[in-house]
Structure 1
Amino acid sequence: MLVEALLALAAAGGGAIVQAAGTDAWNGVRSGIARVLGRGEEAREQTELERLDRTRAVLDAATEGEFERVQAAQAAVWQNRLEMLLEALPEVQQQQAAAELQAVIERVSAVDKESVHNDFSGSTFEKSAVQGSGTQHNTFN
Protein backbone atom coordinates (compact mmCIF):
# COMPACT_ATOMS: atom_id res chain seq x y z
CA MET A 1 0.00 0.00 0.00
CA LEU A 2 1.32 3.40 -0.97
CA VAL A 3 1.68 6.13 1.60
CA GLU A 4 -0.62 9.12 1.29
CA ALA A 5 2.10 11.40 -0.09
CA LEU A 6 2.74 9.06 -3.01
CA LEU A 7 -0.98 8.67 -3.66
CA ALA A 8 -1.33 12.45 -3.75
CA LEU A 9 1.66 12.68 -6.09
CA ALA A 10 0.10 10.13 -8.46
CA ALA A 11 -3.17 12.10 -8.41
CA ALA A 12 -1.29 15.32 -9.16
CA GLY A 13 0.53 13.54 -11.98
CA GLY A 14 -2.73 12.42 -13.56
CA GLY A 15 -4.07 15.93 -13.27
CA ALA A 16 -0.91 17.42 -14.76
CA ILE A 17 -1.18 15.18 -17.81
CA VAL A 18 -4.70 16.25 -18.69
CA GLN A 19 -3.97 19.86 -17.79
CA ALA A 20 -0.96 19.96 -20.11
CA ALA A 21 -2.69 18.35 -23.10
CA GLY A 22 -3.07 20.94 -25.83
CA THR A 23 -0.78 23.49 -24.15
CA ASP A 24 2.82 24.58 -24.59
CA ALA A 25 3.75 22.26 -21.70
CA TRP A 26 2.54 19.11 -23.49
CA ASN A 27 5.79 17.95 -25.12
CA GLY A 28 7.76 18.27 -21.90
CA VAL A 29 5.07 16.57 -19.82
CA ARG A 30 4.59 13.86 -22.43
CA SER A 31 8.29 12.96 -22.53
CA GLY A 32 8.70 13.30 -18.76
CA ILE A 33 5.78 10.98 -17.95
CA ALA A 34 6.96 8.47 -20.56
CA ARG A 35 10.42 8.46 -18.93
CA VAL A 36 8.95 7.97 -15.46
CA LEU A 37 6.74 5.09 -16.57
CA GLY A 38 9.30 3.61 -18.98
CA ARG A 39 11.97 3.32 -16.28
CA GLY A 40 14.81 3.39 -18.81
CA GLU A 41 13.34 0.83 -21.21
CA GLU A 42 12.98 2.36 -24.67
CA ALA A 43 10.13 0.05 -25.78
CA ARG A 44 8.09 0.79 -22.64
CA GLU A 45 8.74 4.49 -23.04
CA GLN A 46 7.50 4.38 -26.64
CA THR A 47 4.36 2.54 -25.51
CA GLU A 48 3.70 5.25 -22.92
CA LEU A 49 4.20 7.98 -25.53
CA GLU A 50 1.55 6.30 -27.68
CA ARG A 51 -0.83 6.07 -24.70
CA LEU A 52 -0.26 9.74 -23.93
CA ASP A 53 -0.98 10.66 -27.54
CA ARG A 54 -4.26 8.71 -27.37
CA THR A 55 -5.16 10.60 -24.19
CA ARG A 56 -4.57 13.91 -25.91
CA ALA A 57 -6.64 12.79 -28.90
CA VAL A 58 -9.52 11.79 -26.60
CA LEU A 59 -9.35 15.16 -24.84
CA ASP A 60 -9.17 17.05 -28.13
CA ALA A 61 -12.21 15.15 -29.45
CA ALA A 62 -14.35 15.79 -26.35
CA THR A 63 -17.24 18.17 -26.85
CA GLU A 64 -17.66 21.17 -24.58
CA GLY A 65 -20.48 19.47 -22.68
CA GLU A 66 -18.50 16.34 -21.96
CA PHE A 67 -15.01 17.80 -21.57
CA GLU A 68 -14.92 17.90 -17.76
CA ARG A 69 -16.12 14.29 -17.47
CA VAL A 70 -13.59 13.10 -20.09
CA GLN A 71 -10.84 15.09 -18.41
CA ALA A 72 -11.64 13.56 -15.00
CA ALA A 73 -11.75 10.07 -16.48
CA GLN A 74 -8.39 10.49 -18.21
CA ALA A 75 -6.81 11.96 -15.07
CA ALA A 76 -8.05 8.91 -13.12
CA VAL A 77 -6.57 6.53 -15.70
CA TRP A 78 -3.15 8.17 -15.44
CA GLN A 79 -3.36 8.43 -11.66
CA ASN A 80 -3.97 4.68 -11.55
CA ARG A 81 -1.02 3.96 -13.89
CA LEU A 82 1.27 6.11 -11.76
CA GLU A 83 0.05 4.50 -8.52
CA MET A 84 0.67 1.03 -9.95
CA LEU A 85 4.18 2.00 -11.00
CA LEU A 86 5.08 3.52 -7.64
CA GLU A 87 3.63 0.58 -5.75
CA ALA A 88 5.61 -1.94 -7.81
CA LEU A 89 9.00 -0.28 -7.32
CA PRO A 90 11.46 -0.98 -4.51
CA GLU A 91 11.72 1.94 -2.06
CA VAL A 92 14.87 3.52 -3.53
CA GLN A 93 13.50 3.42 -7.07
CA GLN A 94 10.12 4.54 -5.76
CA GLN A 95 11.68 7.69 -4.31
CA GLN A 96 13.58 8.35 -7.54
CA ALA A 97 10.42 7.94 -9.63
CA ALA A 98 8.53 10.19 -7.22
CA ALA A 99 11.17 12.91 -7.61
CA GLU A 100 11.01 12.62 -11.40
CA LEU A 101 7.21 12.79 -11.32
CA GLN A 102 7.33 15.84 -9.04
CA ALA A 103 9.63 17.58 -11.54
CA VAL A 104 7.14 16.94 -14.35
CA ILE A 105 4.28 18.30 -12.24
CA GLU A 106 6.29 21.41 -11.41
CA ARG A 107 6.93 21.96 -15.12
CA VAL A 108 3.16 22.21 -15.69
CA SER A 109 2.80 24.59 -12.75
CA ALA A 110 5.58 26.80 -14.10
CA VAL A 111 3.89 27.08 -17.50
CA ASP A 112 0.57 27.94 -15.83
CA LYS A 113 2.22 30.79 -13.92
CA GLU A 114 3.64 32.21 -17.16
CA SER A 115 0.27 32.19 -18.90
CA VAL A 116 -1.83 35.33 -19.34
CA HIS A 117 -5.43 35.21 -20.54
CA ASN A 118 -7.29 38.30 -21.74
CA ASP A 119 -10.90 38.43 -22.95
CA PHE A 120 -12.10 41.58 -24.71
CA SER A 121 -15.83 41.76 -25.44
CA GLY A 122 -17.64 44.72 -26.94
CA SER A 123 -14.50 46.85 -26.92
CA THR A 124 -13.03 49.16 -29.52
CA PHE A 125 -9.27 49.36 -29.89
CA GLU A 126 -7.27 51.80 -31.94
CA LYS A 127 -3.49 51.70 -32.12
CA SER A 128 -3.47 49.29 -29.15
CA ALA A 129 -0.93 46.78 -28.00
CA VAL A 130 -1.00 43.95 -25.48
CA GLN A 131 2.38 43.52 -23.86
CA GLY A 132 3.75 40.84 -21.60
CA SER A 133 5.88 37.75 -21.50
CA GLY A 134 5.17 34.06 -21.39
CA THR A 135 2.16 32.53 -23.09
CA GLN A 136 -0.63 34.93 -23.89
CA HIS A 137 -4.15 34.08 -25.04
CA ASN A 138 -6.17 37.01 -26.31
CA THR A 139 -9.78 36.68 -27.41
CA PHE A 140 -11.40 39.52 -29.29
CA ASN A 141 -15.18 39.16 -29.62
Structure 2
Amino acid sequence: MISESLLALASAGGAAMVQAAGTDGWNAIRDRAARLMARGSHEDEASERRRLDRAAAALTDSPDEGAAGSQAAAWQAGFVVVLTRLEDAELPSAVAELRALIDSGPIAPGNASAPFAGSTFHGPTAVQTGDNNHQENHFGHSG
Protein backbone atom coordinates (compact mmCIF):
# COMPACT_ATOMS: atom_id res chain seq x y z
CA MET A 1 0.00 0.00 0.00
CA ILE A 2 1.39 3.42 -0.95
CA SER A 3 1.03 6.40 1.37
CA GLU A 4 -0.95 9.47 0.34
CA SER A 5 2.20 11.58 0.34
CA LEU A 6 3.99 9.19 -2.03
CA LEU A 7 0.92 9.02 -4.26
CA ALA A 8 0.83 12.83 -4.38
CA LEU A 9 4.53 12.89 -5.21
CA ALA A 10 4.02 10.37 -8.03
CA SER A 11 1.11 12.47 -9.32
CA ALA A 12 3.27 15.60 -9.32
CA GLY A 13 5.93 13.63 -11.18
CA GLY A 14 3.43 12.61 -13.85
CA ALA A 15 2.28 16.21 -14.22
CA ALA A 16 5.88 17.43 -14.48
CA MET A 17 6.54 14.93 -17.25
CA VAL A 18 3.51 16.13 -19.24
CA GLN A 19 4.50 19.77 -18.77
CA ALA A 20 8.04 19.07 -19.96
CA ALA A 21 7.05 17.10 -23.07
CA GLY A 22 7.96 19.07 -26.16
CA THR A 23 9.96 21.70 -24.26
CA ASP A 24 13.68 22.43 -24.08
CA GLY A 25 13.68 20.80 -20.65
CA TRP A 26 12.39 17.44 -21.89
CA ASN A 27 15.76 15.67 -22.23
CA ALA A 28 16.81 16.51 -18.69
CA ILE A 29 13.54 15.44 -17.08
CA ARG A 30 13.36 12.34 -19.31
CA ASP A 31 16.86 11.32 -18.24
CA ARG A 32 15.96 11.73 -14.55
CA ALA A 33 12.80 9.67 -15.00
CA ALA A 34 14.66 6.95 -16.92
CA ARG A 35 17.31 6.69 -14.18
CA LEU A 36 14.63 6.52 -11.51
CA MET A 37 12.65 3.82 -13.32
CA ALA A 38 15.69 1.76 -14.35
CA ARG A 39 17.18 1.78 -10.81
CA GLY A 40 20.78 1.35 -11.88
CA SER A 41 20.46 -0.77 -15.00
CA HIS A 42 22.05 1.10 -17.93
CA GLU A 43 20.31 -1.16 -20.45
CA ASP A 44 16.92 -0.56 -18.82
CA GLU A 45 17.67 3.16 -18.61
CA ALA A 46 18.22 3.37 -22.38
CA SER A 47 15.02 1.42 -22.96
CA GLU A 48 13.12 3.74 -20.60
CA ARG A 49 14.44 6.82 -22.43
CA ARG A 50 13.18 5.44 -25.75
CA ARG A 51 9.78 4.60 -24.23
CA LEU A 52 9.49 8.04 -22.63
CA ASP A 53 10.44 9.74 -25.90
CA ARG A 54 7.75 7.80 -27.78
CA ALA A 55 5.15 8.79 -25.20
CA ALA A 56 6.22 12.44 -25.28
CA ALA A 57 6.15 12.49 -29.08
CA ALA A 58 2.63 11.05 -29.07
CA LEU A 59 1.62 13.67 -26.54
CA THR A 60 3.04 16.60 -28.51
CA ASP A 61 1.53 15.22 -31.73
CA SER A 62 -1.91 15.17 -30.09
CA PRO A 63 -1.91 18.02 -27.57
CA ASP A 64 -5.40 17.66 -26.15
CA GLU A 65 -6.35 17.62 -22.50
CA GLY A 66 -7.50 14.00 -22.64
CA ALA A 67 -4.15 12.83 -23.98
CA ALA A 68 -2.29 14.93 -21.42
CA GLY A 69 -4.40 13.58 -18.57
CA SER A 70 -3.98 9.99 -19.72
CA GLN A 71 -0.24 10.38 -20.10
CA ALA A 72 0.12 12.07 -16.69
CA ALA A 73 -1.80 9.17 -15.13
CA ALA A 74 0.40 6.64 -16.94
CA TRP A 75 3.59 8.32 -15.75
CA GLN A 76 2.14 8.60 -12.24
CA ALA A 77 1.42 4.86 -12.30
CA GLY A 78 5.00 4.19 -13.41
CA PHE A 79 6.37 6.19 -10.50
CA VAL A 80 4.02 4.40 -8.09
CA VAL A 81 5.27 1.03 -9.34
CA VAL A 82 8.88 2.09 -8.79
CA LEU A 83 8.21 3.47 -5.31
CA THR A 84 6.23 0.44 -4.15
CA ARG A 85 8.87 -2.07 -5.30
CA LEU A 86 11.71 -0.49 -3.37
CA GLU A 87 13.18 -1.74 -0.14
CA ASP A 88 12.71 0.63 2.80
CA ALA A 89 16.39 1.60 2.67
CA GLU A 90 16.10 2.64 -1.01
CA LEU A 91 12.94 4.70 -0.67
CA PRO A 92 14.44 7.99 0.64
CA SER A 93 16.87 8.14 -2.28
CA ALA A 94 14.12 7.46 -4.83
CA VAL A 95 11.86 10.07 -3.21
CA ALA A 96 14.70 12.61 -3.43
CA GLU A 97 15.23 11.70 -7.10
CA LEU A 98 11.53 12.14 -7.87
CA ARG A 99 11.45 15.49 -6.06
CA ALA A 100 14.50 16.61 -8.07
CA LEU A 101 12.73 15.53 -11.26
CA ILE A 102 9.67 17.60 -10.31
CA ASP A 103 11.81 20.59 -9.36
CA SER A 104 13.66 20.43 -12.68
CA GLY A 105 10.46 20.65 -14.71
CA PRO A 106 9.54 23.76 -16.71
CA ILE A 107 6.68 24.62 -14.33
CA ALA A 108 8.37 23.60 -11.12
CA PRO A 109 7.86 25.62 -7.95
CA GLY A 110 10.34 28.48 -7.92
CA ASN A 111 10.88 28.31 -11.68
CA ALA A 112 10.83 31.74 -13.34
CA SER A 113 8.49 30.44 -16.05
CA ALA A 114 5.84 29.75 -13.42
CA PRO A 115 5.27 33.11 -11.74
CA PHE A 116 2.05 32.00 -10.10
CA ALA A 117 3.21 28.68 -8.67
CA GLY A 118 2.24 28.48 -5.01
CA SER A 119 0.06 31.60 -5.19
CA THR A 120 -3.28 31.94 -3.44
CA PHE A 121 -6.01 34.04 -4.98
CA HIS A 122 -9.11 35.24 -3.15
CA GLY A 123 -11.95 36.35 -5.40
CA PRO A 124 -12.19 36.53 -9.18
CA THR A 125 -8.87 35.73 -10.82
CA ALA A 126 -7.64 35.27 -14.36
CA VAL A 127 -4.18 33.92 -15.17
CA GLN A 128 -2.76 33.35 -18.62
CA THR A 129 0.62 31.86 -19.48
CA GLY A 130 2.27 30.65 -22.64
CA ASP A 131 2.37 31.95 -26.18
CA ASN A 132 -0.45 32.70 -28.60
CA ASN A 133 -3.16 32.52 -25.96
CA HIS A 134 -6.51 34.25 -26.07
CA GLN A 135 -8.51 34.87 -22.95
CA GLU A 136 -11.82 36.64 -22.26
CA ASN A 137 -12.85 37.19 -18.66
CA HIS A 138 -16.12 38.53 -17.34
CA PHE A 139 -16.38 39.07 -13.62
CA GLY A 140 -19.46 40.24 -11.80
CA HIS A 141 -22.88 40.90 -13.24
CA SER A 142 -23.60 42.24 -16.66
CA GLY A 143 -26.54 44.46 -17.07
TM-score w.r.t. the length of structure 1 is 0.76
More strand by share: 1
- Residue 138 (structure 1) shift: 6.0
Distance (whole Å) between structure 2 residues aligned to residue 57 and residue 71 of structure 1: 12
Unaligned runs of 5+ in 2: 115-129, 133-143
1:70 corresponds in structure 2 to 67
1:128 corresponds in structure 2 to none
More helix by share: 1
- Residue 112 (structure 1) shift: 7.7
- The one-letter code of the counterpart of 1:20 is A
Q: Percent identity over the alignment?
A: 42
Distance (whole Å) between structure 2 residues aligned to residue 112 and residue 69 of structure 1: 27
CA contact (8 A) 2:34 2:45 kept: yes
CA contact (8 A) 1:10 1:80 kept: yes
2:77 corresponds in structure 1 to 80
Count residues in correspondence. 120
Unaligned runs of 5+ in 1: 117-136
CA contact (8 A) 1:24 1:111 kept: no
Distance (whole Å) between structure 2 residues aligned to residue 138 and residue 71 of structure 1: 18
Residues 1-141 of structure 1 aligned to structure 2 (within 5 Å): 1-62=1-62, 67-108=64-105, 109-110=107-108, 113-115=111-113
- Residue 3 (structure 1) shift: 0.9
Which runs of 4 or more aligned residues in structure 1 lie more than 4 Å from their structure 2 counterparts after TM superposition? none
CA contact (8 A) 2:36 2:94 kept: yes
SS of aligned partner of 2:22? coil
Distance (whole Å) between structure 2 residues aligned to residue 112 and residue 70 of structure 1: 27
Provide the alpha-carbon RMSD of the alignment. 2.5
Distance (whole Å) between structure 2 residues aligned to residue 95 and residue 111 of structure 1: 21
CA contact (8 A) 2:13 2:76 kept: yes
SS of aligned partner of 1:91? coil
